[in-house]
Amino acid sequence: MTLLKVEGLTKRFGGLVAVNKVDFEISQGSIVGIIGPNGAGKTTLFNLISGALPPTGGKIIFDGTDITGWRPYNIARQGVTRTFQTTALFEELPSWVNLVIGYRMRTKTGLWDSILRTPRFRRERKATTQKVAEVMGFTGLGEYAQMTAGDLPQEAQKRLAIGVALMGEPKLLLLDEPTGGVGLGETEDIIALINKIRDKGITVCVIEHKMRMIMNLVDQIVALNFGVKIAGGPPDMVCEDPSVIEAYLGECIA
Amino acid sequence: MAKYGKAAFVLLIIGVAVLLGLPQLELISQATLNIFTLGIIWSIATMSLNLVLGYTGQASLAHGAFLGIGAYTFGIMAQRVGMNFWLSLLIACLMTAILGFLVGLPSLRSKGPYFAIVTLCFNVIIFKVFENWTWLSGGYQGQKVPRPSFLTERWARYYFALVMLILVILVVRQIVKSLLGSSFIAIRSNENLAESVGIKSFSTKLLSLTVSCFIVGLAGSLLALQNGYLDYTITNYLYSFYLLIYLLIGGVASLAGPVVGTFGLYFLLWQLEKTMGEFSEFRWLMFGLLLIVVIIYFPMGIVGGAKRFWEWIKKKYYSRRGEVYG
Amino acid sequence: MSFFFNQVVIGIQLGSQYVLVALGLTLIFGILDISHFAHGHMYMIGAYLLYVVMVLAGINYWLALIIVMAGLAIAGVFVERLVYKPLRGQPHINGFIAAIGLILVLETFVRGIEPEALRISKPIEKTFHFAGITMEAQRLIVIVGAIVMIILLHLFIKRTRMGTAIEAMAQDREGAALVGISVNKMAALTFAIATALAAAAAGLMAPMAFIAPTMGSILILKAFVIVVIGGLGSMKGAIVGGYLLGIMEALAIAYISSAYKDVFAFGILILILAVRPTGLFGGREA
């Protein structure tokens, strides 16, 4: 079943077309990889899907709903959360608080609930605490729980960012270069985490540079170059595609 | 972080308890009691700014005007409309909250210094309106503010203000230590990220500002009550700067910070005025120098600096014992 | 009709001040990202220094102007070094607190020495009449003086290496740092230029008004308004905005009401930012 459908998606910045009439679909339960050289428009594509940027043209349909032009917080509430290429966290807050914030949109505690400590307040606080423990265990961040997010090692920060995105109970998780700047062994840890996420029933879309890594991870690949989709399909097929090889100068390894 | 919060909070309660016992000391003169009362009232105002600036990251420079609006609403309700005390108080807080909401609507889409400048503009405009619209403000002569029978004594007003301060501290604490509070600090920390995890930043900021204004409306009313008298200068934008200074020097995003900062600086100024005699004008020069020095070396304010110092001591203590702290 | 033109001329003179102060502020705010709220008080110090140089040292107006501009340029560098440089990297609002501290120091210092308002005599006591317009010589001096300053600034920015560096930084601070432009030197230079311009504004205006410790207070607020509307770092915006505000204020005083004249600028800012949160020529979000 199609979870995300992108139709003719376009983003223009003045004279520059960063994303040019891109079409693709993501099936529920799959892992899709987005590849392309630097400047191909991958992050811009994510920004369009997550609502960080408004599209100039085209449509985005998520789980049957047209979310084109929606604000980021509404798209997140619909079930799409993401990480960022430059790891975005609430740097001066402890890790566990970062996770709490990730779950905030699923709670309704408001002004009166806080002041009067209503049953809803207590209920949601308990639920949040449980969820935080769950996600911390899931992402292996237990030892860093009390540490200030900005002090975490690079690779733990990446996992924390993924954890924050998971707290929101997404149906679709967008990961922008989750292994960026991370060493070999730790890269495998993150890949394993992504597989675990898929096993939980969450659909994942990954932007990645490390070709070898994602070949075994993903079910489908979308290849971009200069904002245009140049290929799409299963990994081995995309790897043999001449335009992809040309764009990557033969980096592909099936 | 939760640990320090508790320790600081306990210290705060102790400090407040000391304040509670104060008037019993026969040593306190009427003038000193007045200063303490004013210090408490200004602390409430600083606390309100802490909610919107310290915790939500929005630098409002209109709180001077909101203080005045709270004061005038109370004064007008009590004196000219003849409403009873409690109702006047409530209406003053609500009115200030409503005005805060209205100011927030066009301003909160602007971020950082832009928001600060817009709110400052609002303050100047409100100040000018009060200055010139004498029917409303009473101009230079101002107007009288009646006191209810149970607040005619100075020490009664002192305790009343103190009780209000304690209530405000408790309410603010409940808010910031809740899931709503987590929305606030998320916005302060990284607004874009907060939006991408589903937090509606505009309406959350608006809520923070509105609640903050409710509280500063209370402070304004108490101020009017304490002075027994009102004139248009109570909406002066200089008060916005005072509150900002009290807050930042005391320490943002802490519950003790606003109180420490307000009392500390208010008292400092008062003491300087007393001891400097004929040179008392120059107390402002020393104050200015102090501001510059403190903000350079204590960017987190007094309370923030104290917390860091405490952390530094703990590190030394633990590492000496051979344990790893972290 | 001639009344109208007179008001416009007054407005241009008023605007001349705004332009010079706003130019300096837009450079500082736009390039260095500092809310230099004390800029209005540097203007005030300029006026007092002019008094000292002219009245106490007996130097003529024109030479005194130059001395004051140079003196204040140096003062500006001191302010940057002592107050703002240690705050680099800290949250924006902390710089604002430091500026308030500086304001208190400067104003109290001046008030402590001479609390009474001072006057400086005008260098030329003529009044011109032409095309139905009545203009004092000093008014003309202000207008022409400001234009001279703007041209000098323009030449400096476009024709010198340091000026080009400033323009580069105004457009893209990080990029400029990457190509090796020294932040320290640029900060000092920017403050020097900005403060010298403020001194020029004060010096040109001083013979026409009272010299008082609170001279710069409302002026700085309006300068911020102009800078935000015109765009941070945009010199064109500061110039257009400054003159426009001056003219509109003069017309408002004449045709509407004098009491609310200050409210005018602030109301416009609120309207503009409500519609475009990043300012008219914005783009650079804070």
SS (H, E, C) C148-186: HHHHHHHHHHHHCHHHHHHHHHHHCHHHHHHCCCCHHHH
Q: Which helix or strand (DSSP H or E) is residue B166 part of?
A: helix B154-176
Q: Give the residue-averaged pLDDT of A202-208.
A: 94
Spatial strand order of the sheet with A65-66 comes to: A16-27, A2-13, A57-62, A65-66
- Number of structural domains, chain C? 1
Residue spans per domain, chain A: 1-79+170-254, 90-168
Number of neighbours of residue A15 by Cβ within 10 angstroms? 5
pLDDT for C284 equals 47
Decide: residue C38, CB within 10 A, 0-12 exposed, 13-18 middle, 19+ buried. Answer: buried
Q: Tell me the pLDDT of chain A averaged across its residues.
A: 91
Alpha carbons B46 and A238: distance in angstroms, whole number: 61
Partner-chain residue, chosen from B244, B285, B292, that has the shortest CB–CB distance to C109: B285
Q: How far is CA B117 from CA A192, B125, C87, in A?
A: 49, 12, 20
Alpha carbons B69 and B86: distance in angstroms, whole number: 17
Q: What is the 3-state secondary structure (H, E, C) of chain C?
A: CHHHHHHHHHHHHHHHHHHHHHHHHHHHHHHHCCCCCCHHHHHHHHHHHHHHHHHHCCCCHHHHHHHHHHHHHHHHHHHHHHHHHHHCCCCHHHHHHHHHHHHHHHHHHHHHHCCCCECCCCCCCCEEEECCEEEEHHHHHHHHHHHHHHHHHHHHHHHCHHHHHHHHHHHCHHHHHHCCCCHHHHHHHHHHHHHHHHHHHHHHHHHHCCECCCCCHHHHHHHHHHHHHHCCCCHHHHHHHHHHHHHHHHHHHHHCCCCCHHHHHHHHHHHHHHHCCCCCCCCCCC
pLDDT for A250 equals 56
Contacts of B299 in chain C (CB under 8 A): 87, 90-91, 94
Chains C and B touch, using 3 or more CB pairs below 8 Å: yes
Examine the pLDDT at B227 and tell me if it is beyond 50. Answer: yes
Expressed in percent and rounded to 5, the helix, strand and coil fractions of chain A are 45, 25, 30
pLDDT for B2 equals 43
Chains that touch A (3 or more CB pairs under 8 A): B
Examine the pLDDT at A173 and tell me if it is beyond 70. Answer: yes
Mind listing the domains of chain B with CATH numbers? 33-320 (1.10.3470)
Contact A104 B192 (CB under 8 A): no
Please report where in the chains the tokens 């501001």 appear, as a residue. Answer: B291
Contact C277 B110 (CB under 8 A): yes
SS3 call for A90 = coil
Alpha carbons A2 and A61: distance in angstroms, whole number: 10
Examine the pLDDT at A251 and tell me if it is beyond 60. Answer: no
Q: How far is CA B78 from CA B67, B156, C19, C233, in A?
A: 17, 19, 47, 50
Position B53: which residue type? L
* pLDDT tens by residue, B311-320: 788 777 766 6
Residues 6+ apart with CB under 8 A from C50: C64, C65, C68, C120, C199, C202, C203, C206, C211
Please report where in the chains the tokens 């007393």 appear, as a residue. Answer: B274
Partner-chain residue, chosen from B112, B132, B284, that has the shortest CB–CB distance to C286: B112
With bands split at pLDDT 50, 70 and 90, how would you rate the model's confidence at B1?
Answer: very low
SS3 call for B296 = helix
Percent of chain A at pLDDT > 90 equals 74
Examine the pLDDT at B81 and tell me if it is beyond 50. Answer: yes
Strands B229-230 and B143-144: antiparallel
Helices C39-51 and C217-230: crossing angle, nearest 10°? Answer: 130
Examine the pLDDT at C286 and tell me if it is beyond 50. Answer: no
pLDDT for B316 equals 79
Q: Tell me the pLDDT of chain B averaged across its residues.
A: 87
Contact B186 A164 (CB under 8 A): no
Structure tokens given for A165: 């995105």
Cα-to-chain-centroid distance, residue A232: 19
* pLDDT tens by residue, B131-182: 888 888 877 778 888 888 888 888 888 889 989 998 999 999 999 999 999 9
Alpha carbons A136 and A144: distance in angstroms, whole number: 9
**CB proximity B133 to C under 8 Å:** no
Helices C183-205 and C161-171: crossing angle, nearest 10°? Answer: 100
Partner-chain residue, chosen from B128, B244, B292, that has the shortest CB–CB distance to C262: B128
* pLDDT tens by residue, A115-154: 999 999 999 999 999 999 999 999 999 999 999 999 999 8
Give B253→chain A minimum CA distance, Å.
12
Percent of chain B at pLDDT > 90 equals 52
Collect all residues from B whose CB is shorter than 8 A from any CB in A.
1, 171, 174-175, 178-183, 185-186, 189-190, 192-201, 207, 211, 326
Query: For residue C274, is it within any domain?
Result: no
B1, B51, B109, B179: which to substitute to probe chain A, counting the most A Cβ within 10 Å? Answer: B179
Examine the pLDDT at B236 and tell me if it is beyond 70. Answer: yes
With bands split at pLDDT 50, 70 and 90, how would you rate the model's confidence at B5?
Answer: low
- Buried b / exposed e over B118-154, threshold 16 CB at 10 Å, is bbbbbbbbbbbbbbeeeeebbeeebbebebeeebeee
pLDDT for C233 equals 81
Q: Give the residue-averaged pLDDT of B245-265.
A: 89
**CB proximity B22 to C under 8 Å:** no
Chains A and B touch, using 3 or more CB pairs below 8 Å: yes
Position B255: which residue type? L
pLDDT for B6 equals 61
pLDDT for C178 equals 75
Spatial strand order of the sheet with A203-207 comes to: A80-82, A172-176, A203-207, A31-35, A220-225, A228-233
Alpha carbons B294 and B265: distance in angstroms, whole number: 12
Query: For residue C205, is it within any domain?
Result: yes
Q: ipTM, 2 decimals?
A: 0.92
Structure tokens given for C206: 């001083």
Alpha carbons C256 and C262: distance in angstroms, whole number: 12
Please report where in the chains the tokens 């102060």 appear, as a residue. Answer: C21
Expressed in percent and rounded to 5, the helix, strand and coil fractions of chain B are 80, 0, 20
pTM of the model: 0.90
pLDDT for B3 equals 45
**B70 contacts B247 by C-beta, under 8 angstroms:** no
DSSP B324: P
Contact C259 B245 (CB under 8 A): no
Number of neighbours of residue A63 by Cβ within 10 angstroms? 17
Q: Tell me the pLDDT of chain C averaged across its residues.
A: 87
Alpha carbons B88 and A136: distance in angstroms, whole number: 50
Partner-chain residue, chosen from B192, B194, B211, that has the shortest CB–CB distance to A111: B211
Examine the pLDDT at A252 and tell me if it is beyond 60. Answer: no
Examine the pLDDT at B22 and tell me if it is beyond 70. Answer: no
Alpha carbons C61 and A36: distance in angstroms, whole number: 67
Examine the pLDDT at C75 and tell me if it is beyond 50. Answer: yes
pLDDT for B239 equals 94
Contact B112 C92 (CB under 8 A): yes
**CB proximity A81 to B under 8 Å:** yes
Contacts of B188 in chain C (CB under 8 A): none
Closest CA to A41 of A28, A59, A53: A53
Partner-chain residue, chosen from A81, A110, A147, that has the shortest CB–CB distance to B180: A110
Give B188→chain A minimum CA distance, Å.
9
Position B12: which residue type? L
Alpha carbons C167 and C188: distance in angstroms, whole number: 15
pLDDT for C120 equals 79
Alpha carbons B242 and B98: distance in angstroms, whole number: 23
Decide: residue A157, CB within 10 A, 0-12 exposed, 13-18 middle, 19+ buried. Answer: buried
* Residue in chain C nearest B247 by alpha carbon: C97
Examine the pLDDT at B326 and tell me if it is beyond 80. Answer: no
* Residue in chain B nearest C82 by alpha carbon: B292
Give strand ranges (E) for A119-253. Answer: 172-176, 203-207, 220-225, 228-233
**CB proximity C283 to B under 8 Å:** no
Chains C and A touch, using 3 or more CB pairs below 8 Å: no
Partner-chain residue, chosen from A94, A101, A147, that has the shortest CB–CB distance to B197: A101
Kindly report the backbone phi and psi dihedral angles of residue A33, in degrees, each rounded to the nearest multiple of 5, phi listed first: -105, 140
pLDDT for A115 equals 93
Closest CA to C276 of C224, C222, C231: C231
Examine the pLDDT at B324 and tell me if it is beyond 50. Answer: no
DSSP B121: H
SS3 call for B13 = helix
Give B1→chain A minimum CA distance, Å.
8
List the beta bridge partners of residue B230. B143
Give C141→chain B minimum CA distance, Å.
31
> Which residue range(s) make up the domain with C86?
16-216
pLDDT for B319 equals 64
* pLDDT tens by residue, A62-114: 999 999 999 999 999 999 999 999 989 999 999 999 999 999 999 999 999 99
Query: For residue C6, is it within any domain?
Result: no
Structure tokens given for B130: 């009060």
Query: For residue C7, is it within any domain?
Result: no
Number of neighbours of residue A101 by Cβ within 10 angstroms? 29
**CB proximity C248 to B under 8 Å:** no
Closest CA to C95 of C225, C187, C228: C187
Counting one residue from chain B and one from chain C, the pairs whose CB atoms sit within 8 A come to 129
Closest CA to C150 of C220, C281, C244, C238: C238
pLDDT for B8 equals 64
Weakest mean pLDDT among A173-187, C72-86, C192-206: A173-187
Please report where in the chains the tokens 């609640």 appear, as a residue. Answer: B211
Give C57→chain B minimum CA distance, Å.
27
Give B201→chain A minimum CA distance, Å.
8
Highest average pLDDT, of A128-142, B121-135, B310-324, C200-214, comes from A128-142
**B70 contacts B220 by C-beta, under 8 angstroms:** yes
A1-79+170-254, CATH topology level: Rossmann fold (3.40.50)
pLDDT for B186 equals 96
pLDDT for B92 equals 96
Q: Give the residue-averaged pLDDT of A154-171.
A: 94
- Return the higher-pLDDT residue of B183 and C128: B183
Contacts of A50 in chain B (CB under 8 A): 196
Examine the pLDDT at C198 and tell me if it is beyond 90. Answer: yes
Contacts of A101 in chain B (CB under 8 A): 182-183, 185-186, 194, 197, 199
